[in-house]
Chain A
Amino acid sequence: MTRSNGRYDAIIIGGGHNGLVTAAYLARAGKRVVVLERRHLVGGAAVTEEIIPGFKFSVFSYVVSLLRPEIIRDLSLPSHGLEILPLESTVTPMFDGDYLAAWPDADETRREVARHSLKDAEAYEEYSRLMGLMAMAVKPIISMIPPDPTSLSPRDLRGLLKVGAHFQSLSAKHFHLLYKLMTMSSADFLDEWFETDVLKATKSASGIIGTFMGPRTPGSAYVLLHHYMGEIDGAFRAWGFARGGTGAISESIGRAARSFGAEVRLEAEVSQVRTKDGRATGVVLANGDELEAPVVVSSLDPKRTFLTLVSESDLPADFVGDVRRFKIRGSSGKVNLALSGLPDLTCLPGVGRHLRGAISISPSLEYVERAYDDAKYGAFSTRPYMDIILPSMIDPGMAPPGKHVMSVFVQYAPSTITGGWDNLKRDAFGNAVIDAIAQFAPNIRDIIIEKQVLTPADIERITGLTEGNIFQGELALHQLFFLRPSPGWAQYRTPVRGLWQCGSGTHPGGGIMGAGGRLAALEILGAAS
């Protein structure tokens, strides 16, 4: 190909969903774009792989709620194969053989919660309404390029005014609620609302996913809200599952990017960003090839981008310090199971609609907090919090007819485990997960055909995510908005001119959202015009 030695308008490092989104928007605007992906398939942490023949695993990321609808429309993703199916229910099995469920119908859910507490059944609806309102209130901030509060540039001042005006438009009640969400622990926040322990445990779980915090850690309440920002068809807090697994999302974005003329190169690992006079000029591949472009965009996390691809001498020392201090601890693992049948829950025996939704292993707040305690002191949780789904119950194409796949998100599995991760620890971790599932679904061992156990070290090794952190950096308050990933560099730019960032490590952060990829592309196009 002549192009391989030719010049591009933009080089995108990493073919994860954000890198592909950036590539698609740039190509749509007529730019000559190449995406360089280290692995043999696109997707990064959003990949579907047939690890066991016939069984398709969403290997890492497994649900979607945050993918911006404007991206789906702008890139015509449905015509490239994207279809998001609703994930409708959550069932939490309890130790006493009972359960708590949230069903797609509000009346059914109210009746269900009322079995546990009449008061909570009413509070539940009010809570959901308020969180929906709060999500809507915060949404304009999610979709804007963060202004720099220390800058006097007209653009930043305008942005700050917009943020200020937006907060002023909130009622006092909502402002106070937002303040609480920003500062409280999810457990304390939920204590103000509910009395049913299993309900608080299950709700608090969405405040800890992907973070190195427990439900009683201050600041975890914000992540509750982050997960409420999922928006499907105008309904906030709706979770979905992509037909074909999360890899199908990446593939549809990749096809869209190619349809606009972008080139996607697989097995093309970048080893270095080349610079000249403080400007990015291209990249060097691991195989020695060199590509040139005036714009280089990294979708990798900030640590991998700035500490491995860019020479330290090209970066200001304080910036390097910020990047080194950026909190990116991995806290979760993943277990994928190929099953010969369906798990039989003690609390809800047999096959039923509950198997089409999430199964949350969060029987009590204490259970979740103790799981965190293990991690705090350098061990994986012996009794972990787990978010389980059976993708084959939603999309039968994920497994051979009559067989099933189970996706188990496991927390906590700290990247900083004492002594480091090794095969023995991985096996022990996998066994702990199966033991914990067996407490609530005793037949699980009998139906496992094969299992894939992924520790944070495995996640890092395969995807390149530093410490296996699924959000490319914790969603903690000190790492959000104009502080993400580093003060002064939250507008997708970097201290190296021509080098940009577009990954989840930028505003607004993780989940299969694509917002960072889109905003980065718009910013790059704006700078070029």
Chain B
Amino acid sequence: MSRGLPGTPFHPRTAPLVEGQTWRRWAGYVVASSYELHHDREYHAIRSSAALFDVSPLFKYHVRGPDAVRLLDRVVTRDVAGAKVGQVLYTPWCDAAGKVLDDGTISVMSPDFLRLTSAEPNYRWLGENARGLKVSIEDASDSVAALALQGPNARTILQDATGTDLSSLRFFRLTNALIRGVPATITRTGYTGDLGYEIWVEAQHALPVWDALMAAGAPHGITPAGILALDVARIEAGLLLLDVDYVPARKALIEQQKSSPLELGLEWTIGFDKPSFVGHEALVAERARPPEWRFVGVEVMWEPLEALYAEVGLAPRLPTTAWRTSVPLFAPDSDRQVGYATSGCWSPLLKRYLTLAHLEAASAESGAELDMEITVEHRRKRARAHVRPTPFFNPERKRA
């Protein structure tokens, strides 16, 4: 008899570590918000040693067959046909109107075997686009378990755990290795903007892989980390999140809720030169028009923030846990709203208040001034903010 949502294949290892029973839902599973009562140390592990995330809830699809590349090339915006075996692509995909449905990664495992990850279920969508193609599509969401090992010590730990030299595995490439005899795919990817890897294994072999990484990582500060820590790191890295920073077109109730990849800062992922893909025509047409919206980094400036709190005799209250709400942004000293921020947090590393925001294109130039709404002691105030390039934090080790 089943009751509620399941844990991931790593649940027997992660469950005893969650000190405050702080679980949350992710794609039909429950995962840890944080393991310790506070997520600070888990966050710092990402930037200073190595954090281990259970990312098994991601949806995963195995696309096999002679037309596997053709199918994904038809569905997503990136140029899959031009990718080499061993490459990993980050890509969004759209509906016919060029509005984003989802985003994820494609690992080219072999010429006729690709793995797609996504935030939403996509089995039906892939099937609808596969008519007439020689492909099989397998939902591997439950059968593949995944860990993300992120941070400056990630390579050392993974090399020790696999006995493999990973120094030649470049950013967004994959390789295969054994971890305690378990075959694993290792991709140099992640959601933290740091040096990091994701490790993909069959769910039934999940536990020895967790154990091997924890053992190899012990002398290098490996720290199991939850979603709260990840959320801060991904904002520093300027990486957007479905359902938070954009509404997937399928879930949009009104047209304005939808976004195109151009409006999400994802122009670079669009293979305009591809012969065709879902949404191609709409995106080509959109490119010809001046952009309406931009997705950018916005920093709330410290001195004005501190002054707002000082007016009521308080030290600034900083969002050490990332927020995920919509916060109005105004033209400076004006009541004209020019956009809204959708994610924000205090960066413990940069000592800056960072947000990710949708802005009218005219207000989105780097360095432009804005005012962000902020509630100080129950009163709505405005704090001065500046448009900033993302990633806010982009260490050399990420690609080195």
List residues of A whose CB falls within 8 A of some B CB: 69-70, 72-73, 78-79, 83, 85-86, 88, 104-105, 108, 132, 136, 232-234, 236, 243, 395-397, 401-402
- Whether the Cβ atoms of A396 and B221 lie closer than 8 Å is yes
Distance, CA A79 to CA B398, complexed state (A): 13
- Whether the Cβ atoms of A234 and B49 lie closer than 8 Å is no
Residues of A within 8 A of B316 (CB): 234
- Whether the Cβ atoms of A104 and B315 lie closer than 8 Å is no
- Whether the Cβ atoms of B38 and A104 lie closer than 8 Å is yes
Residues of B within 8 A of A73 (CB): 302, 350-352
Stretch from B39-47, B103-111, B331-339 that touches the partner: B39-47
Instruction: Determine how close the nearest CB of chain B comes to the CB of A422; give it in whole angstroms.
Output: 40
Other-chain residue from B220, B318, B348 in contact with A401 (beta carbon distance below 8 A): B220
Instruction: Determine how close the nearest CB of chain A comes to the CB of B301; give it in whole angstroms.
Output: 9
Distance, CA A69 to CA B351, complexed state (A): 6
Distance, CA A86 to CA B220, complexed state (A): 17
Query: B288-321 vs A: 1/0 string, CB under 8 Å?
Result: 0000000000000010000000000001111010
Other-chain residue from B219, B221, B346 in contact with A233 (beta carbon distance below 8 A): B346
Q: In this complex, what residue of B is CB-closest to A236?
A: B315
Instruction: Determine how close the nearest CB of chain A comes to the CB of B74; give it in whole angstroms.
Output: 41
List residues of B whose CB falls within 8 A of some A CB: 37-38, 40-41, 44, 47-49, 153, 219-221, 302, 315-318, 320, 346, 348-352, 393
- Whether the Cβ atoms of A83 and B318 lie closer than 8 Å is no
Residues of B within 8 A of A233 (CB): 318, 320, 346, 348, 351
Instruction: Determine how close the nearest CB of chain A comes to the CB of B299; give it in whole angstroms.
Output: 10
Q: In this complex, what residue of B is CB-closest to A242?
A: B48
Instruction: Determine how close the nearest CB of chain B comes to the CB of A108; give it in whole angstroms.
Output: 7
Residues of B within 8 A of A72 (CB): 350-351
Residues of A within 8 A of B153 (CB): 396-397
Given the known inter-chain contacts A73-B351, A104-B38, A234-B318, please indicate yes or no for A85 contacting B44, CB distance below 8 A. yes
Other-chain residue from A83, A104, A105 in contact with B349 (beta carbon distance below 8 A): A83
- Whether the Cβ atoms of A83 and B315 lie closer than 8 Å is no
Q: In this complex, what residue of B is CB-closest to A395?
A: B48
Instruction: Determine how close the nearest CB of chain B comes to the CB of A515; give it in whole angstroms.
Output: 15
- Whether the Cβ atoms of A104 and B352 lie closer than 8 Å is no
What would 10 A/B residue contacts be, using CB atoms closer than 8 Å? A69-B351, A72-B350, A78-B351, A83-B47, A86-B44, A105-B38, A233-B348, A236-B315, A395-B48, A396-B153
Distance, CA A395 to CA B221, complexed state (A): 7
Distance, CA A83 to CA B41, complexed state (A): 13
Instruction: Determine how close the nearest CB of chain A comes to the CB of B151; give it in whole angstroms.
Output: 11
Given the known inter-chain contacts A88-B41, A105-B38, please indicate yes or no for A396 contacting B220, CB distance below 8 A. yes
Distance, CA A397 to CA B221, complexed state (A): 9
- Whether the Cβ atoms of B349 and A69 lie closer than 8 Å is no
Residues of B within 8 A of A395 (CB): 48-49, 221
Instruction: Determine how close the nearest CB of chain B comes to the CB of A159; give it in whole angstroms.
Output: 18
Residues of B within 8 A of A86 (CB): 40-41, 44
Distance, CA A72 to CA B320, complexed state (A): 18
Q: In this complex, what residue of B is CB-closest to A86?
A: B40
Residues of A within 8 A of B393 (CB): 78-79
Residues of A within 8 A of B317 (CB): 234
Given the known inter-chain contacts A233-B320, A233-B348, please indicate yes or no for A402 contacting B44, CB distance below 8 A. no
Distance, CA A401 to CA B393, complexed state (A): 28
- Whether the Cβ atoms of A78 and B350 lie closer than 8 Å is yes
Distance, CA A203 to CA B351, complexed state (A): 28
Distance, CA A78 to CA B41, complexed state (A): 17
Given the known inter-chain contacts A83-B349, A233-B320, please indicate yes or no for A105 contacting B49, CB distance below 8 A. no
Other-chain residue from A69, A88, A236, A402 in contact with B219 (beta carbon distance below 8 A): A402
Known contacts A78-B393, A234-B318; 8 additional CB pairs below 8 A are A69-B351, A73-B352, A78-B350, A83-B47, A233-B348, A233-B351, A395-B221, A396-B221
Residues of A within 8 A of B37 (CB): 104-105, 108
Q: In this complex, what residue of A is CB-closest to B47?
A: A83
Residues of A within 8 A of B315 (CB): 132, 136, 234, 236
Instruction: Determine how close the nearest CB of chain B comes to the CB of A148; give it in whole angstroms.
Output: 26
Given the known inter-chain contacts A83-B349, A105-B38, please indicate yes or no for A396 contacting B219, CB distance below 8 A. yes
Distance, CA A433 to CA B153, complexed state (A): 34
Residues of B within 8 A of A85 (CB): 44, 48
Distance, CA A4 to CA B325, complexed state (A): 56
Q: In this complex, what residue of B is CB-closest to A139?
A: B315
- Whether the Cβ atoms of A78 and B302 lie closer than 8 Å is no
Instruction: Determine how close the nearest CB of chain A comes to the CB of B150; give it in whole angstroms.
Output: 15
Distance, CA A79 to CA B40, complexed state (A): 20
Distance, CA A86 to CA B48, complexed state (A): 11
Residues of B within 8 A of A70 (CB): 302
Q: In this complex, what residue of B is CB-closest to A136?
A: B315
Q: In this complex, what residue of A is CB-closest to B350?
A: A78
Given the known inter-chain contacts A70-B302, A83-B47, A234-B317, please indicate yes or no for A104 contacting B40, CB distance below 8 A. yes
Residues of B within 8 A of A88 (CB): 40-41
Distance, CA A401 to CA B159, complexed state (A): 14
Residues of B within 8 A of A83 (CB): 44, 47-48, 349
Residues of B within 8 A of A234 (CB): 315-318, 346
Distance, CA A108 to CA B41, complexed state (A): 17
Instruction: Determine how close the nearest CB of chain B comes to the CB of A112; give it in whole angstroms.
Output: 14
Residues of A within 8 A of B40 (CB): 86, 88, 104
Distance, CA A70 to CA B302, complexed state (A): 8
- Whether the Cβ atoms of B302 and A69 lie closer than 8 Å is yes
- Whether the Cβ atoms of B49 and A396 lie closer than 8 Å is yes
Distance, CA A232 to CA B47, complexed state (A): 17
Residues of B within 8 A of A108 (CB): 37
Instruction: Determine how close the nearest CB of chain B comes to the CB of A393; give it in whole angstroms.
Output: 9
Instruction: Determine how close the nearest CB of chain A comes to the CB of B157; give it in whole angstroms.
Output: 10
Distance, CA A395 to CA B220, complexed state (A): 8
Of all A-B residue pairs in the complex, the 4 with the closest CB atoms, nearest first, are A401-B219, A396-B221, A234-B318, A69-B351
Q: In this complex, what residue of A is CB-closest to B393?
A: A78
Instruction: Determine how close the nearest CB of chain A comes to the CB of B293; give it in whole angstroms.
Output: 29
Residues of B within 8 A of A69 (CB): 302, 351
Residues of A within 8 A of B352 (CB): 73
Residues of A within 8 A of B47 (CB): 83
| Max count, chain B CB within 10 A of own CB: residue among A69, A73, A232, A396 | A396
Distance, CA A397 to CA B153, complexed state (A): 9
Instruction: Determine how close the nearest CB of chain A comes to the CB of B384; give it in whole angstroms.
Output: 14
Instruction: Determine how close the nearest CB of chain B comes to the CB of A373; give it in whole angstroms.
Output: 39
Instruction: Determine how close the nearest CB of chain A comes to the CB of B304; give it in whole angstroms.
Output: 13
Instruction: Determine how close the nearest CB of chain A comes to the CB of B12; give it in whole angstroms.
Output: 22
Residues of B within 8 A of A402 (CB): 219
Residues of B within 8 A of A105 (CB): 37-38
Distance, CA A243 to CA B44, complexed state (A): 10
Residues of B within 8 A of A397 (CB): 49, 153
Distance, CA A108 to CA B350, complexed state (A): 29
Q: In this complex, what residue of B is CB-closest to A103?
A: B37
Residues of A within 8 A of B220 (CB): 396, 401
Instruction: Determine how close the nearest CB of chain A comes to the CB of B210; give it in whole angstroms.
Output: 20
